[in-house]
A and B are shown apart, each in its own frame.
Chain A
């Protein structure tokens, strides 16, 4: 069979330069990790790099617009004589750090004179607000684009045809990995071939186990939340709460995996989804309890409460980092040692992509909540992710084997981005929004001291603009657009109408697809009918065929029909 060279000539329109630069940038990642472990593990590292970019951007923005003006204005932190820098501050975030620009408390609320009159209050408020909005937009775009690319009509894609023809990863070059994949494929195929129908008593039993597992996991989650709430009262033992939080986040998912083993699922995908859902609920519950404690108890009891919350978040981030490293040590290194030397039956550990991705999503959420209370927290986060990247990479290469399930990497990426956005980012945004809207800023420290709420900064600014005859446009926009309810009402109505129209269009298209499918089947029947007729005709008149010197044979006629 000869290749038709004309079909591959001149596909030049593909930007060679762009692809070349992409290849150089990510080549290390892809060739080392993707070649040995497959695309799903590679997607974890790509995701980690992407989150690192968020933090770099946040740090630059915060440092540039908030910290630098403060440092220019008042370089030395006004530390009382009693406290000096001891190394312990790095762990607890309190003490000396309390008086530096690390936390909300040491930012001034005045207009900083200098080359430009810089209103610190407005600067702080708008920097944080604009950063959150930009993050939200970036996440929405990323989620929408990957949703569009990867969720196309996934009706029977977990079926046999996909597994046979599309699922084999051609870029795997490691012999062990290939052997593993073949074994898993064989198991999965033979399982599919042997699947029998379940009796209704078995179905009931499965459902009962499923319900029981959900009850157990929910009660575990609620129990963890309640215990964290009680422990929060012992805030003086500064590291107790973060330690317990991280410990629960590490240990309870192991129980969830255990429950998972007893349950029966119709497909592997559902199994992963349920596991991820339970883990997400656990982390959200713990974070929710912590935020409730901070908003309701800390905000009323302490004098400079934002700095206290900032310190608590710093400790959470730090202890979380230590536990991630420990988790890597125990989960991967020790498992490898146990699996190869002591209990060979266990084998080499797998790199659990879902668990690791959830961990970094959780870490990022902490950073997002903490931006308001501690503007320099992104710097810590950058260091954390940076070190984590390299530790995980080394641990992966030395200790782990490729994941056994042929993961649907593209769909998993969509799910992870959606997870990042929906519960976690929106939750962080809600917490920061609630703080800014309803809680009274502390009276003696920080850029918003003396105001009723953080949002009243904008009102004060508007009043100022009005009295000094400032920009008319801004005042007009504020009074008639932002403050008027009719505007939001109209926007909501318009959006609802647009959503309804798009929904109807997609319903219509689904119907069209059904009709087109039916049409394909009918055409196939037509084709086979006509071919049969042609063959009968040929059989009944063989003389004409032998006289005909032109080779109008059956193959070319058949080719014309197909």
Chain B
């Protein structure tokens, strides 16, 4: 590492390296990607921690997220205000959780948050219905959607309260070895 860069101080890079699964080079690359979403908004110099947030509409234009049916929910989950406006910290957090090195427990927690649309800490039938609609582009009939959701709820709900708590979700994930490789966005 010989080239001098003025985007971050060394302490900031250390902190990023500690808290995420990225190396220094990757964090600088991520900053480049963050900046190219809104070059007029994001300064090149982050040494004094400016409070800049990029709105949801710009983030979901990224090629990694553009085609993902859950892109809005993903960005909302990682934003502090819940509306999808990501600061650079949130941005790095998002890709760090979704990267390959991130452990299963972490991914499970965030997957649960993403699928929980009404943010009540449970995946209820309406949440499942919204997932089905997003995955099938709304081309199933209403009865089919209801039937599919009922079946899914029956399978995954262990304690019979017609909602999936985090424990139910975790149990289902533990039986799915593909989850780690599926829940992964490469940047």
Q: Which of these, B106, B121, B160, B178, contacts A524 with CB under 8 Å?
A: B160
Q: Is the CB of A19 closer than 8 A to any CB of chain B? A: yes
B69 pairs with A168, CB closer than 8 A? yes
Residues in A whose Cβ lies below 8 Å from that of B40: none
Q: Is the CB of A198 closer than 8 A to any CB of chain B? A: no
Residues in A whose Cβ lies below 8 Å from that of B147: 193
Within 8 A of B (CB), among A1-33: 1-3, 5, 7-12, 14, 16, 19-20, 23, 30-31
Query: Separation in Å of the B26 CB from the closest CB of chain A?
Result: 9
Given contacts A19-B100, A170-B98, contact A154 B158 (CB under 8 A): no
Q: Is the CB of B88 closer than 8 A to any CB of chain A? A: no
The A-B contact count (CB < 8 A) is 178
Q: Is the CB of A410 closer than 8 A to any CB of chain B? A: yes
Chain B residues in contact with chain A, CB under 8 A?
17-21, 23, 63-64, 66-70, 77-78, 80, 82, 90, 93, 96-98, 100-103, 106, 109, 111, 113, 115, 119, 121, 128, 131-132, 135-137, 139-140, 143-144, 147-148, 151-153, 155-156, 158-161, 165, 169, 172-179, 181-186
Query: Separation in Å of the A19 CB from the closest CB of chain B?
Result: 4
A159 pairs with B137, CB closer than 8 A? no
Query: Separation in Å of the A6 CB from the closest CB of chain B?
Result: 10
Closest A residue to B89 using CB positions = A5
Residues in A whose Cβ lies below 8 Å from that of B82: 1-2
Closest A residue to B183 using CB positions = A170
Query: Separation in Å of the B72 CB from the closest CB of chain A?
Result: 14
Complex CA distance for A528 and B140, rounded to whole angstroms: 33
Closest A residue to B160 using CB positions = A524
Q: Is the CB of A548 closer than 8 A to any CB of chain B? A: no
Q: Is the CB of A149 closer than 8 A to any CB of chain B? A: yes
Closest B residue to A182 using CB positions = B137
Q: Is the CB of A552 closer than 8 A to any CB of chain B? A: no
Complex CA distance for A494 and B20, rounded to whole angstroms: 49
29 A-B residue pairs with CB within 8 Å: A1-B77, A2-B80, A2-B82, A5-B19, A7-B109, A8-B20, A11-B106, A16-B17, A23-B100, A31-B186, A39-B178, A152-B175, A154-B175, A155-B175, A159-B152, A164-B152, A165-B156, A165-B169, A166-B176, A171-B182, A171-B184, A182-B135, A185-B135, A190-B144, A192-B151, A408-B178, A411-B177, A524-B161, A562-B121
Q: Is the CB of A521 closer than 8 A to any CB of chain B? A: yes
Q: Which of these, B96, B169, B181, contacts A410 with CB under 8 Å?
A: B181
Closest B residue to A185 using CB positions = B135
Complex CA distance for A523 and B8, rounded to whole angstroms: 51
B159 pairs with A167, CB closer than 8 A? no
User: Which of A48-56, A173-181, A282-290, A433-441 touches B?
Assistant: A173-181
Complex CA distance for A410 and B135, rounded to whole angstroms: 22
Closest A residue to B101 using CB positions = A19
Residues in B whose Cβ lies below 8 Å from that of A8: 19-20, 93, 96-97, 106
Q: Is the CB of A172 closer than 8 A to any CB of chain B? A: yes
Q: Is the CB of A161 closer than 8 A to any CB of chain B? A: yes
Residues in A whose Cβ lies below 8 Å from that of B101: 14, 16, 19
Residues in B whose Cβ lies below 8 Å from that of A528: 161
A173 pairs with B148, CB closer than 8 A? no
Q: Is the CB of A35 closer than 8 A to any CB of chain B? A: yes
A-B pairs with lowest CB-CB distance, top 4: A524-B159, A160-B152, A161-B156, A186-B136
Q: Is the CB of A61 closer than 8 A to any CB of chain B? A: no
Complex CA distance for A170 and B119, rounded to whole angstroms: 21
Closest B residue to A23 using CB positions = B100
Q: Is the CB of A405 closer than 8 A to any CB of chain B? A: no
Q: Is the CB of A348 closer than 8 A to any CB of chain B? A: no
A12 pairs with B158, CB closer than 8 A? no
A9 pairs with B18, CB closer than 8 A? yes
Given contacts A156-B155, A164-B148, A186-B139, contact A10 B80 (CB under 8 A): no
Query: Separation in Å of the B91 CB from the closest CB of chain A?
Result: 12
A1 pairs with B113, CB closer than 8 A? yes
A520 pairs with B158, CB closer than 8 A? yes
B136 pairs with A189, CB closer than 8 A? yes
Q: Count of chain A residues with Cβ under 8 Å from any Cβ of B? A: 68
Q: Which of these, A9, A35, A163, A166, contacts B186 with CB under 8 Å?
A: A35
Complex CA distance for A105 and B118, rounded to whole angstroms: 76
Query: Separation in Å of the B78 CB from the closest CB of chain A?
Result: 7
Q: Is the CB of A527 closer than 8 A to any CB of chain B? A: yes
A162 pairs with B172, CB closer than 8 A? yes
Q: Is the CB of A169 closer than 8 A to any CB of chain B? A: yes
Query: Separation in Å of the A489 CB from the closest CB of chain B?
Result: 39
Complex CA distance for A282 and B174, rounded to whole angstroms: 37
Residues in A whose Cβ lies below 8 Å from that of B179: 166
A168 pairs with B177, CB closer than 8 A? no
Q: Is the CB of A417 closer than 8 A to any CB of chain B? A: no
Residues in B whose Cβ lies below 8 Å from that of A88: none
Residues in B whose Cβ lies below 8 Å from that of A167: 178, 182
Closest A residue to B163 using CB positions = A562
Closest A residue to B71 using CB positions = A170
Residues in B whose Cβ lies below 8 Å from that of A525: 159-160
B175 pairs with A175, CB closer than 8 A? no
Query: Separation in Å of the A311 CB from the closest CB of chain B?
Result: 44
Q: Which of these, B97, B109, B155, B160, contacts A161 with CB under 8 Å?
A: B155
B148 pairs with A193, CB closer than 8 A? yes
Query: Separation in Å of the A7 CB from the closest CB of chain B?
Result: 7
Query: Separation in Å of the B51 CB from the closest CB of chain A?
Result: 15
Q: A11-B102, A165-B111 are in contact. List 18 more A-B contacts (CB 8 A).
A: A3-B78, A11-B19, A16-B23, A19-B21, A39-B182, A161-B151, A162-B155, A162-B176, A163-B152, A164-B135, A164-B152, A167-B182, A182-B69, A186-B135, A193-B148, A409-B181, A521-B159, A525-B160
Residues in A whose Cβ lies below 8 Å from that of B109: 7
A174 pairs with B175, CB closer than 8 A? no
Residues in A whose Cβ lies below 8 Å from that of B181: 39, 409-410
B177 pairs with A174, CB closer than 8 A? no
Residues in B whose Cβ lies below 8 Å from that of A5: 19
Q: Is the CB of A157 closer than 8 A to any CB of chain B? A: yes
Complex CA distance for A171 and B160, rounded to whole angstroms: 33
Residues in A whose Cβ lies below 8 Å from that of B176: 157, 162, 166
Given contacts A157-B176, A168-B69, contact A12 B18 (CB under 8 A): yes
Residues in B whose Cβ lies below 8 Å from that of A160: 148, 151-152, 155
